[in-house]
Structures are given as C-alpha cells and as structure tokens.
C-alpha cells in the first residue's frame, strides 16, 4: 500500500493514522492478543517509531484483489537486526482494517518485545488521549 509506506517513510504519523479504519485490528509480532481500534493501533505505531532504528522498507507485494498488501522491512532494535513484514488488509473504503506484523529472528523479536514493553505505559496514555472525545 503506497500511501501507508510513504507516510511511514516520511515519519508522518498523522497521515498513517488517517489511513486506519476506526475498527482496525492490530496483531503484534510479540503479543498473543490482537489490539482492536484506531486509537491503540496508532499509539502502538507511534511507539514503534521510537523503538526502531534504521527502519527501511525493501519490498512491496500486492494481492490480486487490491485489498491485500505486504511490506517487507528491515530495522534495528538496539544491537539486534531484524527483518519483518507488515501485512495490510483494506476495507471497502480503502482504509486499513487489519494490520499484522511479523518479525524475525527470535532474538530480534525478543529485543522488540522488551523495547515495546518499556514503551507501553506511554502507548496506553497516548491511546487514551486519542480515544477521548474532543472538547
């Protein structure tokens, strides 16, 4: 998905968030339970940008129906290099309703889990602020 890739590469997290459906489901590479909702997904993605270093997409794959996409990436978390893939599904309106991330190797996934765990209080606060009604 070109718009998502370009927004991520530009560091434009507001544009990334605008591409998410309200009922998006984020599936983490290091947590069993999926995270439903735009606010938590956007907050997790913001947290990931604080954790990943030297992030770059290397390949983009598109499904025949135009609604399934895969973006292969490389990044570093501390001393660990990792390879991963963002699997994206679009709803009827062209918004992301499923985002599943997978990473390898295990040592990279473990480094990611530890780094994101350290971010999670901030992620939850950010998600709460995003889901609060505007005053």
pLDDT for the residue 87: 98
pLDDT for the residue 132: 79
- What φ, ψ does residue 42 adopt, rounded to 5°? -60, -40
134 domain-assigned: no
61 domain-assigned: yes
pLDDT tens readout for residues 77-106: 999 999 999 999 999 999 999 999 999 999
pLDDT tens per residue, the chain (135 residues)?
A: 899 999 999 999 999 999 999 999 999 999 989 999 999 999 999 999 999 999 999 999 999 989 999 999 999 999 999 999 999 999 999 999 999 999 999 999 999 999 999 998 999 999 999 887 765
pLDDT for the residue 86: 98
84 domain-assigned: yes
135 domain-assigned: no
Q: Is 2 left (phi over 0), alpha (psi -120 to 50) or beta?
A: alpha
Rounded Cα distance, 30 and 18, in Å = 25
Domain that holds residue 93: 2-128
15 domain-assigned: yes
Q: How many domains does the chain have?
A: 1
Q: Is 11 left (phi over 0), alpha (psi -120 to 50) or beta?
A: left
CATH of the domain at 74: 3.10.450.50
Rounded Cα distance, 93 and 75, in Å = 31
pLDDT for the residue 134: 64
């Amino acid at each position: 998905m070109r718009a998502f890739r370009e927004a991520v590469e530009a560091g434009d997290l507001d544009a990334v968030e605008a591409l998410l459906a309200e009922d998006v489901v984020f599936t983490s590479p290091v947590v069993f339970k999926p995270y439903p909702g735009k606010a938590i997904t956007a907050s997790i993605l913001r947290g990931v940008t604080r954790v990943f270093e030297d992030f770059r997409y290397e390949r983009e794959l598109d499904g025949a129906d135009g609604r399934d996409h895969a973006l292969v990436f490389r990044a570093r978390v501390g001393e660990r290099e990792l390879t991963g893939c963002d699997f994206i599904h679009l709803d009827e309106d062209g918004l992301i309703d499923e985002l599943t991330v997978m990473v390898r190797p295990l040592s990279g996934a473990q480094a990611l889990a530890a780094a994101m765990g350290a971010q999670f209080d901030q992620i939850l606060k950010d998600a709460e602020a995003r889901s609060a009604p505007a005053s």
